[in-house]
Amino acid sequence: MLNISREFVKHWAKVYDQKFKGSKELLVEMEIREWLANQPEPKYLDKEHFVKLGWWKARRQMKNYKANNETLVKDSTRLAYQASDGRQKLDILTKQKKLKGVRVAVASTILHFLHPNDFPIFDVHVRKSLRKAGEWNRSENDASGDAWLKYVGIMRDFSKKLNVSLRELDKALWAYDKWGNVEREVVEIDDEPDAYTWLLEAEYLMGMGEGEVDKEVDKD
């Protein structure tokens, strides 16, 4: 069974960072975070950054993201930011305001960017890793609101226990599910670092062209 330790998180978060170094995905993430950091309270997303966030998380809904008007995006995300309860925040984004293209997975991403220390990104790759660790007893494809609430609790507990940020934890669990089998195969073949590094890089170059990042499809 997978053991999620501080060392595990630090290692796999580093793998994630190496994989996405210099990528468009990383640049967009940094741009959104910087833009929000410079916004006065209460925080919100404008349409431009809302669409970029949607592209970053679930690209199949791009047409729907763009169909939302600027006022709706600003009002919805500001109201979600100000709400005190997690379920209420989620419902504002997915039900009350009816943002096109926004269901639980994308809503969780909006909440993470608005509250990076409080809410993790809801993702199927992370749920698969949690399942391997015996921490997720629901279906890996359960992207419901109830599943998200349980997921938030699990991720917060690990973050506090291991003294790592929610984003570090998210990166590590995502990367482990995505590339863990590749690393284990390399270690079995050759323990020398040069061989390990070369094979990981080869796998990356063959399967990670721009626009092919295996972000979760918003299934909820």
Match 């199949």 to its residue by tokens.
60
Domain assignment present for 220: no
* Residue-level pLDDT at 97: 84
Domain assignment present for 212: no
The pTM assigned to this predicted structure is 0.84
Q: Identify the H or E element spanning 64.
A: helix 62-67
* Residue-level pLDDT at 19: 96
Domain assignment present for 1: no
* Residue-level pLDDT at 104: 98
CA 162/CA 160 separation, integer angstroms? 6
Domain assignment present for 30: yes
* Short-list 1, 16, 3, 20, CA closest to 162: 3
* Residue-level pLDDT at 182: 67
* Residue-level pLDDT at 183: 55
Domain assignment present for 213: no
Domain assignment present for 219: no
CA 45/CA 32 separation, integer angstroms? 9
List, run by run, the mean pLDDT of 10-residue segments along the chain (220 residues): 97 97 97 97 98 97 98 98 97 94 98 98 98 97 97 98 98 97 48 38 38 40
* Residue-level pLDDT at 139: 95
Domain assignment present for 214: no
Range of the structural domain that residue 180 is part of: 6-207
105 burial level (CB within 10 Å; 0-12, 13-18, 19+)? buried
* Residue-level pLDDT at 98: 87
* Short-list 35, 14, 37, 32, CA closest to 197: 14
Domain assignment present for 70: yes
Domain total in the chain: 1
